[in-house]
């Protein structure tokens, strides 16, 4: 009986483990994307969304601002985009370029 329970526990662990590994792999990929530098004057929606604290809505707001006002000449101009403040800029400064 004990060996049957042990076998069941091993089988259950092998079923659960791949999903845990996949989740960890996805999280590593997302963090790796953030480590890349993003040019805010040319970046696509998905590239902007790779920055920490940026989802599709903020990424689109950056693109809209860029279309209406022209290229950014200073990273601090991001603060003019609705929903983006100085904390976001400081958090992402090392990953943003013009």
Among candidate residues 32, 91, 46, 56, the one with its CA nearest the CA of residue 78: 91
Mark whether 58 and 31 lie in a shared domain. no
Contacts 24+ apart (CB under 8 A), 3-8: none
Mark whether 26 and 54 lie in a shared domain. no
Domain count within the chain = 2
Compute how many other C-beta atoms are within 10 angstroms of the C-beta atom of residue 58.
20
Domain extent for 42: 36-98
Mark whether 97 and 72 lie in a shared domain. yes
More confident residue, 59 or 12: 59
Q: What is the mean pLDDT of residues 14-43?
A: 60
Mark whether 57 and 86 lie in a shared domain. yes
Count of residues in the chain: 98
- Spatial distance between the Cα atoms of 49 and 14, rounded to a whole number of angstroms: 34
Residues β-bridged to residue 56: none
pTM of structure = 0.65
Mark whether 42 and 24 lie in a shared domain. no
- Extract the runs of DSSP E, i.e. beta strands, from the chain: 38-39, 96-97
Q: What is the mean pLDDT of residues 11-33?
A: 48
Q: What is the mean pLDDT of residues 13-27?
A: 48
Mark whether 17 and 44 lie in a shared domain. no
Residue 88's CATH number:
1.10.150.280
pLDDT for res 22: 44
């Amino acid at each position: 009986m004990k060996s049957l329970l042990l076998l069941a526990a091993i089988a259950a662990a092998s079923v659960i483990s791949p999903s845990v590994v996949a989740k960890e792999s996805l999280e590593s990929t997302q963090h790796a994307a953030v480590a890349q530098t993003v040019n805010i004057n040319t970046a696509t929606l998905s590239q902007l969304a790779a920055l920490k604290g940026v989802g599709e809505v903020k990424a689109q707001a950056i693109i809209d601002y860029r279309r209406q006002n022209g290229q950014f000449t200073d990273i601090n101009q991001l603060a003019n985009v609705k929903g983006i403040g100085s904390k976001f800029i400081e958090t992402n400064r090392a990953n943003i370029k013009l």
